Amino acid sequence: MKKNIINILISALVAQLLFTSCEKELMSYEGSEGVYFAVQWGTSYGNEKTWPYMPFSNLEFVKVVGSETTVQLKVMVTGPVMDYDRRFGVAINPDSTTAQKGVHFNDLPAECTIKANEWFTYIPVVVKRSADLKTSVKKIGIKLVATKDLALSFPAFDAVAGFTSGTIVPTFDATMHTINISDFIVKPTIWTGSVNAQNMEAGLWGAFSEKKLNLICERFNLTYNDFMSTTTMPSVLQYLIYQTMSRYLIEMYQNGTPVLEDDGRLMWFSGCTWESSPGVPWVR
């Protein structure tokens, strides 16, 4: 009897798990035939099975090589999968756009297609680097447009349970999406240096500066992204950087061509034969 009860409980648990799994998979197919933005992103350890759905994307040109890049925005369809192509419209949303066409982005396709036997596609958005992105964030607002083939779905999209590997936005309009673009250089995740209580540069690399970061990248053939985790910036490389850079700066100083920060002070790494205080110019 006890064994039968256990078997019944196990069967009920399995059935519940299967129901929950199917319910999650079919979520996108409930309701009428329509399209919505299904853009997901989040933590580095997550993926599309765990990232939350997001109403915006961030494009940081500091992490991009080249003058332009293409952002692929995922769009999914609700309702049954069909054996024929279905088209939907795409347009700029002027209410949420501060970027300029031709300066910050290229023309969008007027229409995109959900191919036969498919349930999603991507809208390609070509985004361009420009000088003003160094000082301000520009926004590209994009909205889906209904056609005779497809309506719009989820104007009030609720966060999906279980998709928690990132910042969760509880409710948003999934018929719209915003791309935030910038070209700021901020201190990356891995920066082994600082300024101490006496306002002197300390640690292996000292105070962060865009000029210092660019010089490291130039001499070590690195990119900004290489400073975002210990996988690409292990401790052995951190030590090699400070040793190599301090020797280089000392050599430049001895040759009469010292490397200065933008505030006029001598650039500093551990191992340099001078001290450096942010905001205090070097006196020759």
Domains of the chain, by residue range, sit at 27-182, 185-284
Q: Please, which residues have CB within 8 angstroms of residue 65's CB and are 6 or more apart in sequence? A: 223
Sign of CA dihedral 155, 121, 80, 170: negative
CA distances from 67 to 26, 70, 130, 182 (A): 40, 11, 8, 13
pTM above 0.85, yes or no: no
Burial of 104 (0-12, 13-18, 19+ CB in 10 A): buried
The reported pLDDT for the residue numbered 149 is: 97
Q: What's the CATH code, domain 27-182?
A: 2.60.40.2030
Determine how many CB atoms are found less than 10 A away from the CB of residue 234. 12
The reported pLDDT for the residue numbered 133 is: 96
Beta bridge partners of 182: 60
N residues, the chain: 284
Encode the chain (284 residues) as per-residue pLDDT tens digits.
434 444 434 444 433 443 344 333 434 445 579 999 999 999 888 999 999 999 999 999 988 889 999 999 999 999 999 999 999 999 999 999 999 999 999 999 999 999 999 999 999 999 999 999 999 999 999 999 999 999 999 999 999 999 999 999 999 999 999 999 999 888 999 999 999 999 999 999 999 999 999 999 999 999 988 998 899 999 999 999 999 999 999 999 999 999 999 999 999 999 999 999 999 999 98
